[in-house]
Amino acid sequence: MSLQSSFSTSKYQVGLIGVGVMGEALISGLVSSRFPKAQIVFTEKRTDRAREISTKYGARALELSELAKTSDVILLVVKPQDLADLLAAIAPDLNKSALLVSFAAGKTTKFISEKTSEKVSVIRVMPNTPTLIGQGMAAISLGANVSQEQAKFVADFLATCGKVISVDEELQDAVTAVSGSGPAYFFAFVEEIIKSGVALGLSEEQASTLAIQTIVGSAAMLEQSGKSATTLRENVTSPNGTTAAALKVFNEANFGEVIEKAMTAARDRSQELA
């Protein structure tokens, strides 16, 4: 049975709490995989936003308590600082066989179980923003009570928005540092390349086109060539050439050390949010 066929006959009702950009991307992924629209529900306080989501995707808006009572899978797409209050609000109404899927950075499956019920199944997910265009990277960790069927459902639907890996939960903070926050590192790098290109005489449009396509092409090459980043870098770097001159500056500025410090800071902040 194909992935789309299995989704189209799914028995689950999926409820989303949080329909911002990430929540909407997840709804879009479900709909594009032919998951029954009538089985997608969400809660949203803003009437205009609720109407927008319902009209665009065919999903139904429900009150929070009703969503908690009736949903088999609940996607918690909220900020970490809002999660505790949300869990306290839905705990009395939760279907005890429900699966809670948390997208809140830093919050552990144990934290979620303690705030709801030890009988509830919990999966923790760290996604990233390319999920919005179907090119996301998600890492999932299984908490207590998760069945094989539940785990497969979550992995399969996240795969409609990009790639998925499973990791031990103790590694989720490292995942946050690599892929969760990772897109911002690349955006910041491209920003600086564009600024430098303009300083060297290019127009902003020219510098932007050159930088963006270089990043896109390099990423595709890294994915499709089967070669490591190290090998590809070495292939571009001729002895005493232009690339070598640029990389020498990076090395002298301790570029690798800066990257490690930045990612460690992201990891540490994720731990602080727990």
pLDDT above 60 (res 1): no
CA distances from 207 to 46, 232, 233, 241, 245 (A): 40, 23, 21, 21, 20
* One domain for residues 148 and 217: no
Distances (CA, A) of 50 to 30, 62, 133, 255: 17, 9, 21, 46
Domain with 225, as residue range(s), is 182-272
Tokens 């760290």 — which residue? 126
CATH of the domain at 261: 1.10.3730.10
Per-residue confidence band for 5, with pLDDT thresholds at 50, 70 and 90:
low
Torsion of CA 250, 254, 255, 259, to 10 degrees: 180
Q: What is the pTM of this model?
A: 0.89
Alpha helices in 97-228 (DSSP H): 109-115, 148-159, 172-175, 182-199, 204-225
Better pLDDT: 5 or 207: 207
For residue range 66-89, what is the model confidence (pLDDT) as tens digits? 999 999 999 999 999 999 999 999
Domain co-membership, 115 together with 193: no
Say yes or no to pLDDT of 2 above 70: no
Same domain (yes/no): 23, 56: yes
Boundary (domain end) residue, out of 176, 210, 241: 176
Residues 29-55 have pLDDT tens digits of 999 889 999 999 999 999 999 999 999
Q: Find all residues with CB under 8 Å of 236, minimum gap 6, and list them.
A: 243
- Spatial separation of the C-alpha atoms in residues 31 and 34, rounded to whole Å: 5
Contact in structure between 101 and 112 (CB atoms under 8 Å) = no
